[in-house]
Amino acid sequence: MPNDTSEATFQADILDSDVPVLVDFWAPWCGPCRMVSPILDTLAQKAGGKAKFFKLNVDRNPNIAGKYGITAIPTVIVFKTGEIHKQLVGVQPQEIYEQALGI
């Protein structure tokens, strides 16, 4: 299950990670965001320790959302060595997220 991240912890949680990190940019009022959550829960279990999974509430963390140009949610960004590796907008099949992570 993905952990929550915030503007205060984003650097340590995401950018400083030594494994790929999938970040789900979401909001509680977003219906499609609720569709992504169970997919990412399954993927997090499947990935084991090969990747980390986080959720960032865009309403509570507008500076990070703005920095990464989040204009539609759900948006999922995969970071590798602190850099954006892949960005996906909208609900995607689990296989697409797996491919983006390389697992």
Name the residues annotated as catalytic.
Answer: 30, 33
Q: What is the DSSP string of 23-56?
A: EEEE-TT-HHHHHHHHHHHHHHHHHTTS-EEEEE
DSSP 3-state of 19: coil
- CA 95, distance to chain mean position in Å, is 15
